[in-house]
Amino acid sequence: MKLLSEDLYQNNVLFSYYGFIDNSVLNHVLSIAKTKLAQNKESVVVINRVYNTINESIENIIKHNFFPDQNMLQYKSLLLIVSDNGFYEINTVNVINEKQKEKIDSQLSAMSKMSKDELKIAKSSILSNKLYSEVATAGLGLIDMFIKTDAHHFGIAPYKENYLFKINFKVNKEIIVNGST
């Protein structure tokens, strides 16, 4: 039987966390990730792109948790940061309810069909029309991640009476400016 530690090592996992996520965990994760990326001698641009993607991914989990306080420890989330094939992958998995599933699936399906330019226009429209608040930012964080990352994939699967929501973002290790590295 293969050990989990062997899987993590062989798959170039830089960081993994499984458990309840709050702002304290977010701050620790960001600090560790920034340190590991700097140790890998990544450029400031790559560090910032990965850092911001982790930050936004975890903030979405924190902001949109639906569970009652007495059940919060049941709703653990997973975060994996992987270095692979010229990319950093930021993977999160968390529990969502039926209402969230419908909204997320609809929103992400629509955004997945948009080009980066179309996403920038959508972001500008939300900002200029003030279609957001401090609590509900009308998907601005997700739009930003779609704009600032190089690839994404999401999935939703049944889990007990709820669903598991998985989203993966890839950030290229090479800095690409106007189509060239």
pLDDT tens by residue, 68-96:
555 655 678 899 999 988 999 999 999 88
How much is the average pLDDT of 15-23? Answer: 88
Separation CA 91–CA 82 (nearest Å): 8
User: Please, what is the average pLDDT of the chain?
Assistant: 83
What residue type is 100 in one-letter code?
Q
How much is the average pLDDT of 143-148? Answer: 90
Model confidence, pTM? 0.83
Confidence of residue 135 (pLDDT cuts 50, 70, 90): very low
How much is the average pLDDT of 15-33? Answer: 91
Separation CA 41–CA 39 (nearest Å): 5
142 closest CA partner among 87, 98, 92, 79: 92
H or E, element range at 148: helix 140-148
Confidence of residue 167 (pLDDT cuts 50, 70, 90): very high
Sign, Cα dihedral of 85, 58, 15, 92:
negative
